[in-house]
Amino acid sequence: MSLTPPSSSPDSVEDELELSAVRHRPEGLEQLEALTRFNRKELQILYRGFKNECPSGVVNEDTFKDIYSQFFPQGDASTYAHFLFNAFDTDKDGSVSFEDFVMGLSILLRGSVQEKLNWAFNLYDINKDGCITKEEMLDIMKAIYDMMGKCTYPLLKDDTPRQHVEIFFQKMDKNKDGVVTIDEFIDCCQNDENIMRSMQLFDNVI
Protein backbone atom coordinates (compact mmCIF):
# COMPACT_ATOMS: atom_id res chain seq x y z
CA MET A 1 0.00 0.00 0.00
CA SER A 2 2.03 2.86 -1.21
CA LEU A 3 0.65 6.31 -0.66
CA THR A 4 3.74 8.15 -1.74
CA PRO A 5 3.51 9.68 -5.18
CA PRO A 6 5.78 8.21 -7.84
CA SER A 7 9.23 9.52 -7.36
CA SER A 8 9.91 12.56 -9.44
CA SER A 9 13.64 12.06 -9.50
CA PRO A 10 14.04 12.01 -13.30
CA ASP A 11 12.27 15.37 -13.48
CA SER A 12 14.24 16.90 -10.66
CA VAL A 13 17.48 15.71 -12.29
CA GLU A 14 16.44 17.46 -15.46
CA ASP A 15 15.56 20.55 -13.51
CA GLU A 16 18.95 20.48 -11.89
CA LEU A 17 20.63 20.13 -15.26
CA GLU A 18 18.66 23.09 -16.55
CA LEU A 19 19.54 25.17 -13.54
CA SER A 20 23.22 24.38 -13.77
CA ALA A 21 23.33 25.25 -17.47
CA VAL A 22 21.60 28.58 -17.14
CA ARG A 23 21.56 30.21 -20.47
CA HIS A 24 19.74 33.29 -21.42
CA ARG A 25 19.16 34.68 -24.82
CA PRO A 26 18.16 38.32 -24.91
CA GLU A 27 15.28 39.78 -26.82
CA GLY A 28 15.90 40.64 -30.41
CA LEU A 29 17.91 43.66 -31.38
CA GLU A 30 14.85 45.58 -32.58
CA GLN A 31 12.97 45.14 -29.31
CA LEU A 32 15.95 46.30 -27.30
CA GLU A 33 16.36 49.27 -29.60
CA ALA A 34 12.80 50.20 -28.86
CA LEU A 35 13.13 49.74 -25.11
CA THR A 36 16.37 51.62 -24.68
CA ARG A 37 17.91 54.74 -26.08
CA PHE A 38 20.91 53.00 -27.69
CA ASN A 39 21.24 52.46 -31.41
CA ARG A 40 22.04 49.14 -33.06
CA LYS A 41 25.78 49.55 -33.15
CA GLU A 42 26.00 50.52 -29.52
CA LEU A 43 23.84 47.59 -28.49
CA GLN A 44 26.05 45.25 -30.51
CA ILE A 45 29.20 46.53 -28.84
CA LEU A 46 27.61 46.34 -25.39
CA TYR A 47 26.37 42.82 -25.96
CA ARG A 48 29.71 41.58 -27.20
CA GLY A 49 31.45 42.89 -24.11
CA PHE A 50 28.72 41.47 -21.89
CA LYS A 51 28.77 38.03 -23.49
CA ASN A 52 32.55 37.88 -23.43
CA GLU A 53 32.69 38.25 -19.68
CA CYS A 54 29.57 36.17 -18.97
CA PRO A 55 29.21 33.50 -21.68
CA SER A 56 26.07 32.13 -20.09
CA GLY A 57 24.23 35.36 -20.76
CA VAL A 58 23.41 36.31 -17.17
CA VAL A 59 25.47 37.89 -14.46
CA ASN A 60 25.07 36.56 -10.96
CA GLU A 61 26.01 38.55 -7.94
CA ASP A 62 29.48 37.07 -7.49
CA THR A 63 30.56 37.79 -11.06
CA PHE A 64 29.11 41.28 -10.67
CA LYS A 65 31.15 41.90 -7.55
CA ASP A 66 34.23 40.46 -9.18
CA ILE A 67 33.98 42.70 -12.24
CA TYR A 68 33.26 45.75 -10.17
CA SER A 69 36.14 45.19 -7.78
CA GLN A 70 38.54 44.98 -10.71
CA PHE A 71 37.77 48.64 -11.33
CA PHE A 72 38.31 49.56 -7.69
CA PRO A 73 41.16 47.43 -6.47
CA GLN A 74 42.19 49.71 -3.62
CA GLY A 75 39.15 49.16 -1.43
CA ASP A 76 36.39 46.68 -0.77
CA ALA A 77 33.81 47.30 -3.44
CA SER A 78 31.66 44.26 -2.71
CA THR A 79 29.02 45.96 -0.55
CA TYR A 80 28.44 48.76 -3.03
CA ALA A 81 28.38 46.17 -5.85
CA HIS A 82 25.71 44.31 -3.88
CA PHE A 83 23.50 47.40 -3.74
CA LEU A 84 24.16 48.09 -7.41
CA PHE A 85 23.22 44.54 -8.27
CA ASN A 86 19.90 44.88 -6.48
CA ALA A 87 19.27 48.11 -8.33
CA PHE A 88 20.00 46.55 -11.72
CA ASP A 89 18.08 43.39 -11.02
CA THR A 90 14.66 44.90 -11.56
CA ASP A 91 12.76 41.62 -11.73
CA LYS A 92 14.44 40.32 -8.58
CA ASP A 93 15.33 36.90 -9.95
CA GLY A 94 18.85 36.88 -8.55
CA SER A 95 20.60 37.48 -11.83
CA VAL A 96 21.10 40.38 -14.15
CA SER A 97 20.28 39.54 -17.74
CA PHE A 98 21.37 41.60 -20.69
CA GLU A 99 18.00 43.38 -20.86
CA ASP A 100 18.22 44.47 -17.21
CA PHE A 101 21.78 45.59 -17.77
CA VAL A 102 21.15 47.56 -20.90
CA MET A 103 17.95 49.16 -19.61
CA GLY A 104 19.76 50.29 -16.48
CA LEU A 105 22.58 51.71 -18.58
CA SER A 106 20.11 53.42 -20.87
CA ILE A 107 18.59 55.31 -17.96
CA LEU A 108 21.96 56.18 -16.45
CA LEU A 109 23.65 57.33 -19.63
CA ARG A 110 20.83 58.59 -21.82
CA GLY A 111 17.98 59.30 -19.47
CA SER A 112 16.63 62.63 -18.34
CA VAL A 113 17.77 64.13 -15.07
CA GLN A 114 14.47 63.12 -13.50
CA GLU A 115 14.98 59.49 -14.52
CA LYS A 116 18.55 59.46 -13.26
CA LEU A 117 17.56 60.86 -9.91
CA ASN A 118 14.79 58.32 -9.75
CA TRP A 119 17.30 55.55 -10.36
CA ALA A 120 19.63 56.91 -7.70
CA PHE A 121 16.76 57.01 -5.22
CA ASN A 122 16.00 53.41 -6.09
CA LEU A 123 19.61 52.54 -5.37
CA TYR A 124 19.54 54.15 -1.94
CA ASP A 125 16.17 52.70 -0.98
CA ILE A 126 17.39 49.25 -0.03
CA ASN A 127 14.06 47.73 0.92
CA LYS A 128 12.22 49.53 -1.87
CA ASP A 129 9.53 50.95 0.39
CA GLY A 130 9.56 54.43 -1.10
CA CYS A 131 11.60 56.19 1.55
CA ILE A 132 15.21 56.30 2.67
CA THR A 133 15.80 55.89 6.38
CA LYS A 134 18.93 56.88 8.22
CA GLU A 135 20.00 53.24 8.57
CA GLU A 136 19.70 52.63 4.82
CA MET A 137 21.67 55.76 4.08
CA LEU A 138 24.31 54.77 6.61
CA ASP A 139 24.70 51.39 4.92
CA ILE A 140 25.12 53.00 1.53
CA MET A 141 27.55 55.55 2.89
CA LYS A 142 29.67 52.89 4.56
CA ALA A 143 29.69 50.88 1.33
CA ILE A 144 30.93 53.88 -0.64
CA TYR A 145 33.61 54.65 1.92
CA ASP A 146 34.69 51.01 1.96
CA MET A 147 35.08 51.17 -1.79
CA MET A 148 37.41 54.14 -1.53
CA GLY A 149 39.63 52.12 0.71
CA LYS A 150 42.41 53.64 2.73
CA CYS A 151 43.69 55.80 -0.08
CA THR A 152 41.67 58.91 0.56
CA TYR A 153 42.91 62.42 1.18
CA PRO A 154 42.37 63.59 3.87
CA LEU A 155 42.39 60.33 5.81
CA LEU A 156 38.90 59.36 6.93
CA LYS A 157 37.94 58.76 10.53
CA ASP A 158 35.59 56.01 11.61
CA ASP A 159 32.54 58.18 12.24
CA THR A 160 32.89 60.11 8.98
CA PRO A 161 30.10 58.08 7.33
CA ARG A 162 27.73 58.90 10.19
CA GLN A 163 28.54 62.59 10.01
CA HIS A 164 28.09 62.51 6.27
CA VAL A 165 24.66 60.91 6.69
CA GLU A 166 23.68 63.68 9.13
CA ILE A 167 24.70 66.36 6.63
CA PHE A 168 22.78 64.56 3.90
CA PHE A 169 19.63 64.31 5.97
CA GLN A 170 19.87 67.91 7.06
CA LYS A 171 19.97 68.90 3.43
CA MET A 172 17.34 66.51 2.09
CA ASP A 173 14.82 65.93 4.85
CA LYS A 174 12.64 69.01 4.54
CA ASN A 175 9.88 68.06 6.92
CA LYS A 176 12.28 66.55 9.44
CA ASP A 177 10.36 63.32 9.78
CA GLY A 178 13.52 61.19 9.76
CA VAL A 179 13.00 59.74 6.28
CA VAL A 180 13.60 61.10 2.81
CA THR A 181 10.85 60.46 0.29
CA ILE A 182 11.29 60.48 -3.46
CA ASP A 183 9.75 63.93 -3.87
CA GLU A 184 11.94 65.52 -1.23
CA PHE A 185 14.95 63.88 -2.84
CA ILE A 186 14.25 64.98 -6.40
CA ASP A 187 13.27 68.45 -5.25
CA CYS A 188 16.38 68.97 -3.25
CA CYS A 189 18.70 67.61 -5.92
CA GLN A 190 17.20 69.81 -8.61
CA ASN A 191 17.87 72.83 -6.48
CA ASP A 192 21.50 71.86 -5.89
CA GLU A 193 23.89 73.14 -8.56
CA ASN A 194 26.72 70.73 -7.82
CA ILE A 195 24.50 67.71 -8.19
CA MET A 196 22.94 69.00 -11.38
CA ARG A 197 26.35 69.62 -12.91
CA SER A 198 27.55 66.14 -11.95
CA MET A 199 24.57 64.56 -13.63
CA GLN A 200 25.54 66.11 -16.96
CA LEU A 201 28.84 64.26 -16.91
CA PHE A 202 27.32 61.02 -18.04
CA ASP A 203 26.12 62.17 -21.37
CA ASN A 204 29.10 61.12 -23.44
CA VAL A 205 30.12 57.94 -21.80
CA ILE A 206 29.76 54.89 -24.03
Partner 1 sequence: MAAGVAAWLPFARAAAIGWMPVANCPMPVAPRDHRKRHDELIILNVSGRRFQTWRTTLDRYPDTLLGSSEKQFFYDEETKEYFFDRDPDSFRSILNFYRTGKLHYPRYECISAYDEELTFFGIIPEIIGDCCYEEYKDRKRENAERLQDDQDDNKDCKLPNMTYRETMWRAFENPHTSTMALVFYYVTGFFIAISVLTNVIETVPCGATPSQKDMPCGERYTIAFFCMDTACVLIFTVEYLMRLFAAPSRYQFMRSVMSIIDVVAIFPYYIGLVMTDNEDVSGAFVTLRVFRVFRIFKFSRHSQGLRILGYTLKSCASELGFLLFSLTMAIIIFATVMFYAEKGSSSTKFTSIPASFWYTIVTMTTLG
Tell me which residue of 54, 126, 36 sits closest to 97, measured CA to CA: 54
Binding string, residues 101-130; x marks residues near partner 1 by CB under 8 A? x--xx--xx------xx-xx--xx------
Our finding on whether 198 is near partner 1 (CB under 8 A) is yes
Question: Binding segment for partner 1 among 1-9, 13-21, 29-37, 191-199 (CB under 8 A)?
Answer: 191-199
Near partner 1 by CB under 8 A: residue from 27, 60, 61, 68: 68
Q: Least Å distance between CB 159 and partner 1? A: 16
Our finding on whether 169 is near partner 1 (CB under 8 A) is no
Question: Binding segment for partner 1 among 1-9, 12-20, 99-107, 152-160 (CB under 8 A)?
Answer: 99-107
Judged by the rule CB under 8 A, the positions of this chain that interact with partner 1 are 45-46, 48-50, 52-53, 67-68, 70-71, 80, 83-84, 101, 104-105, 108-109, 116-117, 119-120, 123-124, 140-141, 144, 164, 167-168, 185, 189, 194-195, 197-199, 201-202, 204-206
